[in-house]
Structure 1
């Protein structure tokens, strides 16, 4: 066989192997039965950039959590199920009857009760915070008064400014004997782990751990863009804080991004729901460290009576491996339940077809639907992708407001000023399907009115998007937006 024949044979074999590999990945994408938009986006990428498409699919196309995490999840399952069973038992029939009499017509309540095992928890005092200084001073005050334990879990922690005061308070708490644990996302808080502040915490006795660590070897076994997006503080198992605020001073954070200061809100919970939020931290901590927290192996004593004006709420954790469709179904239920008014604030608006259809249907049946998003976004791809949906939403009669005084980061769905979805979930597919998130579903008219008042303040700092002006924007703008939309299922 001549050299030319050998080269031809090798080329033919390489070409056949290449085609077989492409066909294999096409079959893998099809057989995974992902949402149509996601599958088509991966197929488009595979055809347009075959080699790069295969590499990207291996890195980001599957929800690989790693064998260690899967093994720990199996180990934790019995004790977690036992904890939920005990929680259901201590909620006495009288308490359950009270909830059902109040909420039996609430579709979100009924859906959450049937799709999650964690029952709604009555008897909570809620305080809404939206001023950065008040958020940090409130956190520090609770940390300084802690007697037993302090647990922090954040996507982003960045030393400097107001955060340094939190670090100092944690050091002091650990030195006086309070058990302190800090769990931070390995990517979102990567710079913090190398900082002097992290070293100070460890030296003071604070346990600091990375959530979902990354690395070249791990990339072979775990998907790197599955992130822990939760923001959670638990004090003595009696007080909890959660919402959109990362552990970063907005006066310093990403000031070179050209979007202004980030604008956030947090809710402080005092009552039994703090224990449930604490269980979310306990589970995440055990998944990363293998260490269990004794408190969650002890009986939980539920109070028999509550203070006046206490609120009932569901705690809904979501993420890969946790019935990930639940938060998507709850968002849809919230939209379809709305009768008069539906207001959504989100920094990242990249919905799927089901959510777009639900929003348009709500507006067309007479619900006053308002979406509030920042005028400028720290992600250019998300900026363009989100705007590709505007024309359909505006045509349906939905009001879109652009917040002009910074990056509005608060994540909230307000349904008829009575039911509030509040927490860490953005209205994009990354939050719904990929990130580990936490949502409070609050069934309390008083809190709904507080949220409505805050939203009115946001609206006063926003400008309305005109449907006429929007349709007259330049062709290149429309082209960029529509191209970004093709990749939106992958964002």
Structure 2
């Protein structure tokens, strides 16, 4: 026994040193961004063994081979389907406003599709209105209902949506539901799972949690989209999970969750249906591409000006770094004013620089974030960026009336970005997300009103007060900033 221990003790430094060298070389090869390279290298050097374990499980591997193969297969089929869709030219628009032109050009180049005209678009910022409108649409559905959510937390108004789905399913409506395995853990352990399945609703658990799978893919990639599709004509998306905002994480004592959802009628549901069908096939290997019907879901009402919308999906299998490039192009397109709302602010080096550069050019930049957060790590790590932002003239507003969960950007009161992606590393690089780019002045004015309300419920971070904060607070910010690749 002593001999074995002696051999282990002698070999340990050599094996550990080799692992450090191999990991370092892989990090240098895999990551292009200097800040990420430094953060990961510091982690494996400063946290013996633990740093290597963290990198192995969540820093090294992206998707397993099965999912990669399915993703390639899905897109090859989708491309031919999109070719037929693009023949219906009247639903697309090639002309955009000056501020939106570059972004829509990027989307067309990377995704192969122009912006889509829409009949009606509504901003819903009151949770009660969202749920009531959604339940009405579910009960009036005639053919199909598709949903994907990161979190479905039973209780309160979430149960009302479940009852409406059961009602429609029993009428013969085809209902499909994709829920993230980690985010919706409580749902999968609740009676609602069996009740909904017994009514005929097909429910898929996305990215299942399995100890063995930790060795074959990153375990922290999550299905973070929030999409509802009804009859291939009505689309919902935004920041709201299927939770009761008064009950969700009540023990955190951070107040009500504040969200924003969009309800859209028209051809956008078809393009969003492509995203949903890809997600469904990734999990089930079954194809459910939406049917194209020129006489029903592709009808455009006669209007002088249509909202032009581009759906921008991201995540493994979708165009690489699309959310990051979208954000950069949108920010640099600004000429007058930018307003950003996000619950979690851990920007990349490039995004931080872009925000600071446009602010220094004299463009008004406002960032609205929650004063209270459900993530202790993110709360402190995000503060690390405040110095540079304030030095560049950026206004930082801290929302005080609950947890502001809305993810939105408004540029020059013309171009709006709304969706599921936070301004953090996880949303930018890893998760399955969806963002809508909306080129329409009337819609932008509505979003501006909501932003003004958020500002009225916030306090502006004072530059002088921030500069004289205590040394230990500055130290904590720097320590948690080193964890930014994990946040």
Please confirm whether the aligned pair reaches a TM-score higher than 0.5, indicating the same fold: yes
How far residue 74 of structure 1 moved from its aligned partner, in angstroms, is 2.6
Whether 2:342 is the aligned partner of 1:350: answer no
Structure 1 equivalent of residue 422 of structure 2 = 426
Instruction: Deviation per CA, 1:458-484: give whole Å up to 9, x if none.
Output: 111101000001011111111111111
Q: 1:211 to 1:344 in 2, by over 3 A?
A: same
Show the 5 A alignment for 1:112-151: 112-151=107-146
CA distance in 2, matches of 1:31, 1:101: 39
1:49 to 33, 47, 50: 47
Residue 422 of structure 2 is aligned to residue 407 of structure 1: no
Counterpart in 1 of 2:336? 340
Quick check: 263-272 or 63-72, which moved more? 63-72
Match of 2:74 in 1: 76
**For 1:35-184, what aligned pairs fall within 5 Å after superposition?**
35-92=33-90, 99-100=94-95, 102=97, 106-184=101-179
Q: Secondary structure at the match of 1:335?
A: helix
Match of 1:254 among 249, 254, 273: 249
**Alignment partner of 1:397 out of 393, 396, 399:** 393
Matched, 1:442 2:438: yes
Does the Cα contact within 8 Å between 1:339 and 1:416 map onto a contact in 2?
yes
The alpha carbon displacement at 1:11 in A equals 3.9
Residues 419-471 of structure 1: CA distance to partner in whole angstroms, max 9, x if unpaired?
Answer: 00100011111110011100000000000000000101111110100000101
TM-score, scaled relative to structure 2: 0.95
Structure 1 residue 65: Cα displacement: 1.8
2:182 matches 1:187: yes
Q: Is the 8 A contact 2:311 2:434 kept in 1?
A: yes
C-alpha separation in 1, matches of 2:400 and 2:11: 58
TM-superposed deviation, 1:251: 1.0
Bigger Cα displacement from structure 2, 452-461 vs 48-57: 48-57
Question: Judging changes above 3 Å, is the alpha-carbon distance between structure 1 residues 488 and 101 closer, same or farther for their aligned structure 2 residues?
Answer: closer
Q: State how far apart, in whole Å, the 2-side matches of 1:448 and 1:34 are.
A: 35
Q: Distance in 1 between matches of 2:328 and 2:419?
A: 16
Aligned residue for 1:431, secondary structure, equals helix
Q: Aligned partners of 2:207 and 2:137: how far apart in 1?
A: 28
Are 1:360 and 2:360 counterparts? no
Between the aligned partners of 1:256 and 1:338, the Cα distance in structure 2 is: 40
Contact 2:340 2:367 in 1 (8 A): yes
Deviates more, 1:317-326 or 1:102-111: 102-111
Moved over 3 A (4+): 6-14, 101-105, 298-309
Post-superposition offset of 1:259: 1.1
What TM-score, normalized by structure 1, do the two folds share? 0.95
CA spacing shift, 1:300–1:327, aligned 2, 3 Å: farther
Residue 106 of structure 1 deviates from its aligned partner by 2.1
Alpha-carbon shift at residue 27 of structure 1 (Å)? 0.9
Using a 3 Å threshold, how does the CA distance of structure 1 residues 146 and 7 change in structure 2: closer, same or farther? closer
- 1:115 positional shift: 2.0
Question: Distance in 2 between the 1:309 and 1:141 partners?
Answer: 28
The range that moved more, 25-34 or 11-20, is: 11-20
Asked whether the 8 Å contact 1:123–1:307 carries over to 2, the reply is no
Contact 2:342/2:407 (8 A) holds in 1: yes
1:373 aligns with 2:364: no
C-alpha contact 2:335 2:363 (8 A) present in aligned 1: yes
Per the TM alignment, residue 13 of structure 1 is displaced from its structure 2 partner at its CA by 3.4
Which of the residues 199, 204, 207 maps onto 1:209? Answer: 204
- What is the SS of the residue equivalent to 1:50? coil
- CA distance, structure 1, for counterparts of residue 256 and residue 100 of structure 2: 40
Equivalences, count: 484
Contact 2:342 2:369 (C-alpha < 8 Å) held by counterparts: yes
Q: Distance in 1 between matches of 2:100 and 2:138?
A: 39
Distance 1:169 1:41 in 2: 47
Deviation track 1:31-85 (CA, whole Å, cap 9, x = no partner) reads: 1133211121111111112311221111101343222212221322221111222
Aligned to 1:20: 18
Partner of 2:464: 468
Matches of 2:83 and 2:161, distance apart in 1: 36
Q: Which segment drifts farther, 348-357 or 29-38?
A: 29-38
Q: Residue 8 and residue 295 in structure 1: after superposition, are their counterparts in 2 closer, same or farther (change >3 A)? A: closer
SS of residue in 1 equivalent to 2:250: coil
Separation in 1, partners of 2:203, 2:274: 18
Match of 1:322 in 2: 318
- Residues 104, 248 of structure 1: alpha-carbon distance in 2 compared, 3 angstrom cutoff: closer
For 2:215, the equivalent position in structure 1 comes to 220
Contact persistence 1:388–1:482 (CA under 8 A) = yes
- Give the secondary structure class of the aligned counterpart of 2:252: coil
Using the TM superposition, name which of 352-361 and 75-84 deviates more: 75-84
Paired with 1:312 and 1:319, the residues of 2 have a C-alpha distance of 23
Distance change >3 Å, CA 101–CA 281, structure 1 → 2? closer
Please state if 1:416 is matched with 2:376: no
